[in-house]
Amino acid sequence: MSNVKNITSKILKDAEAGKENILAAAEEEKNKILTAIAKALIDNTEKIVEANAIDLENGKKNGLPDGILDRLMLNADRIKGMAKGIEDIVKLPDPVGKILNTTVRPNGLKIEKVSVPLGVIAVIFEARPNVTSDAAALCLKSGNTVILRGGKEAINSNKMITSAMRDAVKSVGMNEDVIQLVEDTSRESATALMTMNKYVDVLIPRGGAGLIQAVVRNATVPVIETGVGNCHIYVDKDADLDKAVDIVFNAKTQRPSVCNAAESLLIHKDVAKEALTRIKQRLDTKDVVLIGDKDSRTIAPDIKEATDDDWGTEYLDYKMSVKIVNNVDEAIDHIYKYSTHHSECIVTENKETAEKFLNEVDSAAVYVNASTRFENTLLNLENNTNNYINLSDEDYVEVFKENNQMLYLTQSDIYLMSQVVYAESKGEPYEGKVAVASVILNRALNSGFPNTIEGVIYQPRAFSCIVDGQINVEPTQECFDAVYDALSGNDPTGDAVFFYNPDIATCSWMKNVEKHNVISIGQHLFFTL
């Protein structure tokens, strides 16, 4: 223990030495550092992926569950996301020096409350190497030195990421010791950090409940306690079960290893048999293990029996607890007892029940007829600057309408939409391209058309580019951007499901049909029937 403490003490002393540099840094200097770090991550992608491969291989040998392996895994796209996250931090206003409050006393004495850096921030986290750059960037932006102590599962990844960041800091003339990594991943090193009051100004644990509670119980330095994600979905007696199946499937399986993945399913007794049967059938396609109460196991005997501990467990895996409840009040009581106040969802068509759920559930995000993963989808769409949203072939992006309709899109769908936008709106203004993308989405969400992007686009005689073969093109960045804007809810057409160019159209039906809500954008007219 003494040797570990000595090593840790040296790291902390080095961090203390680097503190003066970052404390005195102007906003431009800090942004310059962060920009260099973002570039360094991209430039070192190959090295980081190689180091990460070692961690993944070790994790598999040690029997890490798939959910943890997913949190651990880095590839080129995820590293781009890490860099993009840092670039977004650069755009944020400088939090240092902000006047929070001003008071003038009767004698003329002026008192101001001003935000200042904390000093040295230590972050203890587990098997998510992306936290290494996230935490460092946030600390540096706020004028703080950062000490990083990740888990043993990601040590090779963390070392390579930290090395790249320190080199970047040094390249712009800053002391690289503003970023430190504790390479010793033993419990002793974590304990040492918790008790280094002389050097550590605040400690932040980032990980599972066990880690967080261990830090809270044992630390003598100030701690900012974070939370885990035991997120719930309640399927009400007035739920649209088609929506319920899709929402639960997405919330549980889209990425089960993250904190806003759904962990618990509550179902009203009046719809329990049909709802649970349909939901389980869908979840079975992903081999999701359900752990339930007596009533749920009566409906589906192969559901495993739940213990009291299961209701409060953040599985971070293809597992989910299930409980049948008598009413919305019982669902809310259950959530109140076991929730970590992260993200909760109700699926219902009853407005009063929805309002009750929204008003009485105390969590950071509370949704009606939307996946607990909804926030991440919005962030992906709003922050995207690349040709693709960061989706694997099995991932989805959700599109919601005000009438609670929901559509899931894959990466292939987004590319296909961009092809149609290119072919159908060459020479049109950007708004016209967004409009074409919106028409495709509106059709997929309209009961009078196929309910998939591919079905809409390849519907017979639906789009001229399919008929004449002009669909086979490489979309431009502007076309992708237009699709992303449409996915984010920008619809300049007013929910139109048809469009045509009256100057060149040859379809007599399109010319003569009675049109409503006609909007002219560029050379096209957009309308509904």
Per-residue pLDDT of the chain (529 residues; tens, 9 = 90+): 445 555 556 666 666 655 666 766 788 999 999 999 999 999 999 999 999 999 999 999 988 877 778 878 999 988 998 998 899 899 888 888 888 888 887 877 888 888 888 888 988 887 789 889 999 999 999 998 998 988 889 999 999 999 999 999 999 998 888 998 988 888 787 777 787 777 788 888 876 556 666 676 777 777 776 556 789 999 999 999 998 998 898 888 877 777 788 999 999 999 999 999 999 999 999 889 999 999 999 999 999 998 888 888 878 788 999 999 999 999 999 998 888 788 899 999 999 999 999 889 988 888 888 888 765 544 444 444 444 444 444 444 545 444 445 566 777 788 889 999 998 888 889 899 999 999 999 998 888 888 888 889 988 888 888 877 788 877 887 888 888 888 877 789 988 999 988 887 777 777 788 888 889 999 899 998 8
Residue 392: strand, helix, or coil: coil
Q: Assign domain 231-369 to a CATH class.
A: alpha beta
| pLDDT of amino acid 329 | 94
Neighbours of 443 (CB within 10 A): 21
| pLDDT of amino acid 384 | 47
Are the C-beta atoms of residues 403 and 420 closer than 8 Å to each other? Answer: no
The residue among 467, 454, 469 whose CA lies nearest residue 507 is 467
H-only helix segments in 445-503 = 453-457, 464-468, 477-487
| The CATH number, out of the four listed (3.40.50.970, 1.10.8.60, 1.10.10.2520, 3.40.50.11260), of the domain defined by the range 377-528 | 1.10.10.2520
Distance CA 406, CA 416 (A): 19
Distance CA 297, CA 323 (A): 9
Q: Which amino acid, one-letter code, is at 439?
A: V
Specify which residues 407 forms β-bridges with: 399
Are the C-beta atoms of residues 144 and 118 closer than 8 Å to each other? Answer: yes
Please report which helix (H) or strand (E) contains residue 13, including its range. Answer: helix 2-23
> What residues does each domain of the chain span?
2-218, 231-369, 377-528
Please report which helix (H) or strand (E) contains residue 32, including its range. Answer: helix 27-43
Task: Give 98's contacts (C-beta < 8 A, 6+ positions apart).
Answer: 114, 115
Are the C-beta atoms of residues 290 and 318 closer than 8 Å to each other? Answer: no
DSSP state of 306: P
The residue among 481, 476, 488, 491 whose CA lies nearest residue 521 is 491
Are the C-beta atoms of residues 230 and 264 closer than 8 Å to each other? Answer: yes
| Unique residue bearing structure tokens 């079905």 | 455
DSSP state of 93: P
Sign of CA pseudo-dihedral 459, 465, 470, 473: negative
Neighbours of 67 (CB within 10 A): 19
DSSP state of 494: S
User: Cα–Cα–Cα angle for 511, 515, 516, nearest 5°?
Assistant: 160
Task: Give 130's contacts (C-beta < 8 A, 6+ positions apart).
Answer: 74, 78, 81, 82
| pLDDT of amino acid 8 | 55
Residue 406: strand, helix, or coil: strand
Exposed e or buried b for every residue in 289-327, given b needs 16+ CB within 10 A? ebbbbebbbebbeebeebeeebbbbbbbbbbbbbbbbee
The residue among 475, 463, 345, 321 whose CA lies nearest residue 400 is 345
Neighbours of 50 (CB within 10 A): 13
Distance CA 113, CA 95 (A): 13
Distance CA 117, CA 126 (A): 25
Residue 270 structure tokens:
């009046």
Q: Does domain 2-218 have CATH number 3.40.605.10?
A: yes
Specify which residues 516 forms β-bridges with: 528
Residue 521 structure tokens:
């954008």
Are the C-beta atoms of residues 264 and 350 closer than 8 Å to each other? Answer: no
Are the C-beta atoms of residues 323 and 296 closer than 8 Å to each other? Answer: yes
Instruction: State the Cα torsion 159-222-71-163 to the nearest 10°.
Output: -10
Long-range contact set of residues 221-228: C-beta below 8 Å, sequence gap at least 24: 221/122, 221/193, 221/194, 221/195, 221/196, 221/197, 227/340, 227/341, 227/342, 228/259, 228/314, 228/340, 228/342
| pLDDT of amino acid 513 | 84
Are the C-beta atoms of residues 116 and 23 closer than 8 Å to each other? Answer: no
Give the side-chain half-sphere CA count within 13 A for 485: 21
Neighbours of 331 (CB within 10 A): 25
| pLDDT of amino acid 479 | 87
Give the side-chain half-sphere CA count within 13 A for 402: 5
Phi, psi of 9 (to 5 degrees): -60, -40
DSSP state of 339: -
